[in-house]
């Protein structure tokens, strides 16, 4: 219902202070006067009610307990805040997918708004930067501990990648000329898990070492071609003064997956 004086919004935003002024010039003011029990000859603002009955719980509560809603004649929702919240929660519980989608969209819109402001507003940018720096400084130890805990979990969850990364890290630390992203599993599959030193299959996958054929210390690269499967024990028992692997590979044929057999004639 519109009372013939501008938009309802004008009335509700103005509340008591300007309602009177509006009413004096309003042609349809009688409705409002009647609604609030006023004599329409009164030249003063009507006294607006301070309580209201909730349509859901049917209790009379103070206006402060109703959500603002400028689309309603008196500027407040018909349901009290607690009834409105209850209804919202009930609806959300019954429409989980919809609620998830709504939250996602809301978060995306907020992020987009902040990003736009971040790019357009240099002051805001500086402010955010200073805040972040202060936060980092104040929580240095916490953040460090959090990062370590996260990394520990990541290593547990990605053991294969962790081994790949640590291999690359060691090679880079030893100043290898070339460090590839070597897939350990692919090298093991290529070598059929056979130790290039003793020629036997490595039974325990955890005991597999990837050995640089030309050691990184001798200028070898960290590449799949320069890596070969070895028993951890075989790899570690040889010192740096071993027979160069590439020479050994020339002298001995590529090991076969089956058990090494002798050259003797099979007995019949
Ligand atoms: Zn209520
Ligand atoms: Zn071996």
Q: What is the pLDDT of residues 18-56, one digit of tens each?
A: 444 444 444 455 565 566 655 555 556 667 788 999 999
pLDDT at 68 > cutoff 90: yes
How far apart are the CA of 237 and the centre of ligand 2, in A? 10
Residue 79 maps to a domain: no
How far apart are the CA of 68 and the centre of ligand 1, in A? 14
How far apart are the CA of 61 and the centre of ligand 1, in A? 8
**Ligand closest to CA 199:** 2
Which pLDDT value is given to residue 49? 83
pLDDT at 159 > cutoff 50: yes
Residue 257 maps to a domain: no
Which pLDDT value is given to residue 48? 73
How far apart are the CA of 86 and the centre of ligand 1, in A? 9
**Ligand closest to CA 57:** 1
> How big, in percent rounded to 5, are the helix, strand and coil portions of the chain?
55, 10, 35
pTM of the predicted model as reported, rounded to 2 decimal places: 0.43
Q: Are residues 199 and 165 in the same domain?
A: yes
Give the chain's domain count.
3
Its domain, for residue 237, covers 159-251
Q: Which range (113-117, 202-206, 246-250) has the least confidence?
A: 246-250
Q: How far apart are CA 118 and CA 134, in angstroms?
A: 18
Q: Are residues 168 and 219 in the same domain?
A: yes
Q: Are residues 202 and 244 in the same domain?
A: yes
Which pLDDT value is given to residue 267? 45
Q: How far apart are the first and last CA of the chain?
A: 110
Residue 107 maps to a domain: yes
Residue 70 maps to a domain: no
**Ligand closest to CA 211:** 2
Residue 56 maps to a domain: no
pLDDT at 86 > cutoff 90: yes
Q: Are residues 129 and 210 in the same domain?
A: no
Which pLDDT value is given to residue 20? 41
Residue 9 maps to a domain: yes
How far apart are the CA of 234 and the centre of ligand 2, in A? 5
């Amino acid at each position: 219902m519109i009372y013939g004086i501008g938009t309802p919004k004008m009335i509700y935003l103005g509340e008591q202070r300007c309602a009177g002024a509006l009413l004096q010039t309003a042609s349809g003011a009688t409705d409002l006067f009647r609604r609030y029990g006023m004599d329409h000859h009164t030249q003063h603002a009507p006294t607006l009610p301070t309580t209201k009955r909730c349509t859901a719980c049917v209790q009379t509560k103070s206006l402060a307990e109703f959500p603002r809603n400028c689309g309603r004649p008196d500027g407040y929702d018909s349901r009290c805040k607690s009834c409105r919240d209850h209804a919202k929660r009930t609806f959300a519980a019954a429409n989980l997918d919809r609620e998830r989608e709504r939250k996602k969209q809301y978060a995306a819109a907020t992020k987009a708004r902040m990003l736009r402001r971040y790019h357009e507003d240099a002051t805001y940018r500086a402010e955010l930067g200073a805040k972040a720096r202060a936060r980092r400084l104040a929580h240095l130890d916490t953040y460090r501990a959090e990062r370590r805990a996260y990394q520990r979990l990541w290593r547990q969850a990605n053991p294969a990648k962790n081994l790949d990364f640590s291999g690359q890290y060691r090679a880079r630390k030893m100043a290898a000329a070339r460090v590839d992203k070597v897939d350990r599993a692919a090298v093991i599959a290529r070598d059929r898990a056979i130790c290039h030193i003793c020629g036997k299959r490595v039974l325990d996958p955890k005991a597999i070492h990837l050995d640089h054929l030309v050691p990184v210390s001798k200028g070898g690269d960290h590449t799949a071609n320069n890596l070969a499967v070895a028993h951890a024990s075989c790899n570690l028992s040889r010192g740096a003064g071993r027979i160069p692997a590439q020479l050994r590979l020339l002298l001995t044929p590529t090991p076969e997956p089956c058990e090494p057999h002798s050259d003797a004639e099979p007995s019949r």
